[in-house]
Structure 1
Amino acid sequence: MLAVTADDHPSAAPSPGGPVAVLANPTAGRGRHRGMLPHLLDRLATAGRPVRLLEARTAEEAEAACRAAVVEGVSALLAVGGDGTVHRALQAVAGTTVPFGPVPAGTGNDFAVDTGFPADPSAAVEVVVAALRDGRSHPVDLARMTGADGAVRWYGAVLAAGFDAIVNERANRMRWPRGPRRYDLAILVELARLRPRRYTLHVDGTAQETDAVLVAIGNCGSYGGGMRICPDADPTDGLLDVVVGGRFDRRTLMRVKPRIYRGTHVRHPLVRTYRARTVELAAEGITTYADGERSLRLPVTVTAVPAAVRLLR
């Protein structure tokens, strides 16, 4: 996890003659699109600008490479990968006028798809190429999260701060098994330990305490590869959508979970929804996950930032 203060975030403008920087994650989507990268770069070059592939061996190096590229004056930044790759790149372009293109090539591509890009990476690159040729970009909102220590993170899709975040944290601590089975085992362990947590929630300044199992704050509607946890979220309305699932027991949670893919879980009597510009969230022992990436510990303040990034479409 990387965290920066607001003052550390670069204020940068695109260089019209600069290269298009590309952050690519060859392991995204379990590597199924790895062989497509040369083709995607060739197609990108048809936009008539130099193409610069960023080098990084870790997620932290990827984020640092994106920040450096923006500061050095690239004309645009692309992220080829899933939501995690996009999340790293967003830390560099958020709050700047450097246009950004998410090319969905991961297991979860929620931000790209929810903001209007084709799910197919080749088709998404064609959209980016056309936007670069035409000098066109489209503003969308981002969420800015601030921790108790002043650390700042941006995210594009959804912040998870309930059961799903707890499962992710458990899975990340496990050394065995490898692959998706580790996540499945983490679910079973945390289901056995399931209990509502006490949250303090401020929605545009209105405070309440609540016992909950699921808590999500969405700029977009989906997380986890198409789960419509915040189904009515709109990344152009300047607002955050908050979904709180209350005192679910194990059986009820397992019945409700499949409904999240359709977004119909919000009709359950234990689910409450809110819409706000700013949300303050506190609870003991919770590490949040933003765009599927490990992020800040609670308490956090999340603010909707209108037109915080310009997308190449």
Structure 2
Amino acid sequence: MSALPQPGPRSFTFLVNPASGGGAAPDAVVPVARLLREAGATVDVTYSPGPKAMVSLVGEAVGRGDVVVSVGGDGMLSSLAGLVADGGGTLAVLPAGRGNDFARMLGLPADPVGQARLLLEGSVRRVDLLSLSLPGAPPRVVAGSVYSGVDARAAELVDRAHRLPRRLQYPYAALRSLATYRPGRYRVSVDGVEREHSAATVVVANSAYYGQGMKIAPAAAVDDGRLDVVVIEAASRLELMRSLPKVYDGSHVALPEVTVLTGTRVELRARSRMPVPVGGDGEPLGVLPGLGDDPATVELLPGALSIVA
């Protein structure tokens, strides 16, 4: 490995989810931490922090002036993003999950030398976050996207697809979800303008990518101060399966059954034969309220997070 420049004032607290990426996260830490220490940086590594422990660990790290490094997937990143933002700290990402879609959106390097160099030398930029509120539950901060319907069902199936190669897990889950989906009746309000759709899925996106590289919201940017709402209208299962490859390059948004809206506050309700699941950044978050209930809300948190990228 090539020598790295001597660090400036940065020190690092790595918080590692050892289950991410099928157990890949601990291995991802070792070479990067070694390079940082060889360059003279202070590095602290904690494995398997639980939710309660993360609150105190992040608070202590931010208090010391450390950059908090999320080691894992998009779910781990989201679980830390709100804590770091609330504390006024700086986050960095060492992608080691199945999807790594927020890292993909930021264009982060995949090799240890590049990752260490970015941590030492990378600029700190401000990015937007999302806040999801479900009736009766505390708000949940999400970095990349909130999704409901078929997409949320597919995310649940990914967790059961560990025996498949990583690159096949999301396509498999998407096809399985489409094979059994039932359309829902969605009521979607964007900045106070309400519409109803018979839809397979509704995605509220901050990042363009989800589902291991699917470009669900090609116009989205993490620092543009807006949400991109992608509604995929109900169609036959075969038509949805045939259009699935278009999601990888973003060309699906040109299809007549796809509607893209933009705004800063989104309200969602839905009715279907079964409760409509909702998730965010690979994590199940609950179910959408019914058409006659108080809505779920997704609000933009503009420039909420400082991140090394």
Alignment TM class, shorter chain as reference = 0.7 to 0.9
User: Quick one: structure 1 residues 210 and 249, their matched pair in 2 at CA, closer, same or farther if it must change by over 3 Å?
Assistant: same
1:102 CA drift (Å): 0.8
CA displacement, residues 74-116 of structure 1 (integer Å, 9 cap, x when unaligned)? 4220012221221222232133321000111222111112123
Q: Confirm whether residue 308 of structure 1 aligns to residue 292 of structure 2.
A: no
Cα contact 1:96–1:308 (8 A) shared by 2: no
Q: Look up the match of 1:64.
A: 52
1:17 CA drift (Å): 8.3
The one of 113, 118, 123 equivalent to 2:114 is: 123
Q: Once superposed, what is the RMSD of the aligned Cα atoms?
A: 2.6
State TM-score, norm by structure 2.
0.83
- Distance across 1 between alignment mates of 2:100 and 2:81: 14
User: Quick one: structure 1 residues 121 and 159, their matched pair in 2 at CA, closer, same or farther if it must change by over 3 Å?
Assistant: farther
Q: Look up the match of 2:292.
A: none
The one of 21, 37, 45 equivalent to 1:45 is: 37
| Worse-superposed segment, 81-90 or 48-57 | 48-57
Q: Confirm whether residue 179 of structure 1 aligns to residue 159 of structure 2.
A: no
User: Quick one: structure 1 residues 218 and 26, their matched pair in 2 at CA, closer, same or farther if it must change by over 3 Å?
Assistant: same
The one of 279, 284, 291 equivalent to 2:281 is: 291
- Distance across 1 between alignment mates of 2:11 and 2:38: 13
Structure 1 unaligned spans of 5+: 1-15
Cα contact 2:131–2:298 (8 A) shared by 1: yes
2:80 partner amino acid: A
1:145 partner SS: strand
- Distance across 2 between alignment mates of 1:188 and 1:109: 20
> How high is the sequence identity, in percent, across the aligned residues?
33
- Distance across 2 between alignment mates of 1:171 and 1:105: 16
1:170 CA drift (Å): 5.3
1:12-161 paired onto structure 2 within 5 Å = 20-32=12-24, 34-45=26-37, 48-56=40-48, 61=50, 63-72=51-60, 73-74=63-64, 75-131=66-122, 136-161=123-148
1:166 partner amino acid: R
- Distance across 1 between alignment mates of 2:297 and 2:45: 34
User: Quick one: structure 1 residues 242 and 46, their matched pair in 2 at CA, closer, same or farther if it must change by over 3 Å?
Assistant: farther
- Distance across 1 between alignment mates of 2:182 and 2:76: 32
State TM-score, norm by structure 1.
0.82
Q: Look up the match of 2:180.
A: 193
1:241 partner amino acid: D
Cα contact 1:204–1:277 (8 A) shared by 2: yes
User: Quick one: structure 1 residues 122 and 200, their matched pair in 2 at CA, closer, same or farther if it must change by over 3 Å?
Assistant: farther
1:28 CA drift (Å): 2.7
| Worse-superposed segment, 106-115 or 30-39 | 30-39
- Distance across 1 between alignment mates of 2:23 and 2:156: 23
1:283 partner SS: strand
Count of aligned positions: 287
| Worse-superposed segment, 194-203 or 16-25 | 16-25
- Distance across 2 between alignment mates of 1:171 and 1:36: 22
Cα contact 2:17–2:47 (8 A) shared by 1: no
Structure 2 unaligned spans of 5+: 1-7, 290-295
- Distance across 1 between alignment mates of 2:109 and 2:9: 27
Q: Look up the match of 1:246.
A: 233
Cα contact 1:228–1:261 (8 A) shared by 2: yes
Cα contact 1:287–1:297 (8 A) shared by 2: yes
Cα contact 2:217–2:230 (8 A) shared by 1: yes
